[in-house]
Amino acid sequence: MARKKILVTGGAGFIGGNFVQFIVNKYPNYDIYNLDLLTYAGDLTKHKQIEEKKNYTFIKADISDRKFIIELFKKEEFDYVIHFAAESHVDRSIKDPGIFIETNVTGTQVLLDASKEVGVTKFVHVSTDEVYGELDFDPSTFFTEETPIQPNSPYSASKASSDLLVRAYHETYGLPVNITRCSNNYGPYHFPEKLIPLTISRVLNDQKVPVYGDGKNIRDWLHVIDHCAAIDLVMHKGENGEVYNVGGHNERTNLEVVQTIIKELDKSDDLIEFVKDRLGHDKRYAIDPTKLEELGWEPIYTFDTGIAQTIRWYLDNKEWWEQIINGDYRDYFKAQYTTV
Ligand code: NAD
Ligand code: DAU
């Protein structure tokens, strides 16, 4: 197989970080360039095992820095762009939407322009099921690729805007693109501001777990490795211009998720504290992954096997998440959860 150059943006974050390790190890004949700004959500300690590998290079840069990005693309002539870099936390987007537009919309447009300029083989845009808005609690309804885009938070609106730009660059300029829309991920290196790692880290420290509203909102959980395998498949086999939903039919209420973790760690439900609801809190997400399954994808984790593996990982890697929760994150937590 010929050598290929792969640019991964946001490869110091949660999903991008797992993806970088996945492809560096799976494809020794691909040269992987991890471009990341190292915001609060990015860290390179996770890549200790691969940083010396010949097929791995890190580039610290901002995807919105047009001049730098265009020059870089001209110099390296990447074959594939796998675009994860984003501001990703809904609660932060409610407090401060501006940076979400800057990174998620403008940053994506800069990457699209650079990809068009050098003529990449494929641009994979990693998007989210949140662009579809919310479902009601009828368990027979799912998001399909034809579901209208109806984002409800500044975060999902910024992702939806970037999806539309990606589509437009395909329709107008013929850029070979795919968009993936995945449900909620969990697994190793998940930043502890998100529900599952927040719950695991707080339960392990015997601290209260904040549950928004009545805890009945539903999310559809997928282990990050199953998401990585989906992107690998779409990158190689996805039909240009197509959208692929990614999800494994693992719907749980938030309360069920928190109670499962508490039970696995042999602690008490008294740790649960119901707090003020998130503004515009989407009721339910649920993915119909039929189109991706037809391309050959199948998840390896159920929610039960995945959550057990994830809890074990957090137990074995305390130093990784402790350095986060003992840093600037403390101020974020205090401001976000004034009553906990
Ligand atoms: P994350 O917040 O953990 O990581 C984001 C990474 O992007 C960080 O390393 C950060 O430093 C980097 N970054 C931010 N701004 C940048 C900029 N201007 N230039 C370069 N790098 C920058 O996010 P995540 O949870 O890993 O999500 C990755 C992608 O997957 C996002 O696009 C998100 O919308 C999408 N997604 C996430 C989920 C989920 O459950 N977490 C589900 C579906 C889709
Ligand atoms: O669906 C995919 C999306 O999943 C991704 O696009 C986002 O990047 C990712 O952050 C995630 O968004 P959510 O808002 O669903 O994830 P979060 O972990 O923030 O919240 C999950 C659910 O748990 C949600 O219903 C809100 C609730 N929650 C969250 C936090 C942080 C709580 O009840 N308490 C909390 O403290």
Give the type of residue at 317: N
Q: Residue 269 corresponds to which amino acid?
A: D
d(C-alpha 25, C-alpha 16), whole Å: 14
Low-confidence ranges of the chain (pLDDT < 50): none
Backbone phi, then psi, for 77, in 5-degree steps? 50, 65
Ligand 1 atom nearest to CA at 39: 11
E-strand stretches of 218-333 = 218-223, 243-246, 251-253, 272-275
Q: Rounded to the nearest whole angstrom, what is the distance from the C-alpha of residue 90 to the centroid of ligand 2?
A: 7
Give the chain's domains with CATH numbers. 4-185+222-246 (3.40.50.720), 187-219+250-276+301-329 (3.90.25.10)
**pLDDT for residue 2:** 76
The model's pTM is 0.98
Q: CB neighbours of 133 closer than 8 A, spacing ≥ 6?
A: 148, 149, 150, 151, 152, 156, 282
Per 3-state DSSP, what percentage of the chain is helix, strand, and coil (rounded to 5)? 45, 20, 35
- For a ligand 1 pocket test, name from 7, 8, 9, 15 the mutation site with the most ligand atoms within 8 angstroms of its C-beta: 15
Cα 35 from Cα 51, distance rounded (Å): 13
Ranges assigned E (strand) in 27-79: 30-36, 56-60
pLDDT at 1: 63
How many angstroms is it from 148 CA to the middle of ligand 2?
Answer: 21
**What is the C-alpha separation between 133 and 49, in angstroms, rounded?**
38
Ligand 1 first shell, C-beta below 6 A: 9-10, 12-16, 36-39, 41-42, 62-64, 84-86, 88, 103, 107, 126, 128, 159, 182, 184-185, 191
**Residues found in the chain:** 340
| 71 is an active site residue | no
Of these residues, 36, 43, 79, 129, which one is catalytic?
129
Q: Are 165 and 113 in contact (CB under 8 A)?
A: no
Q: Using most ligand atoms within 8 A of CB, pick from 87, 135, 194, 209 the residue to mutate for ligand 2.
A: 194
pLDDT in tens, 300-340: 999 999 999 999 999 999 999 999 999 899 999 999 998 88
Helix and strand numbers (H, E) in the chain are: 13, 12
129 is catalytic: yes
Q: Is 126 helix (H, G, I), strand (E, B) or coil?
A: strand
| Catalytic residue of the set 155, 186, 285, 314 | 155
Structure tokens at 114: 């650079």
Q: How far is the CA of 194 from the centre of ligand 2 (A)?
A: 6
**Nearest Cα to Cα of residue 122 among 180, 179, 176, 181:** 176
Ligand 2: residue whose CA is nearest its atom 25: 217
Angle at 61 between CA 57 and CA 63, to 5 degrees: 115
Pocket of ligand 2 (CB under 6 A): 88-90, 128-130, 183-184, 194-195, 198, 210-212, 217, 219, 254, 278, 285
d(CA 261, CA 163): 34
DSSP secondary-structure letter at 149?
P
CA atoms within 13 A on the CB side of 156: 22
245 to 6, 210, 229: CA distances (angstroms): 22, 30, 13
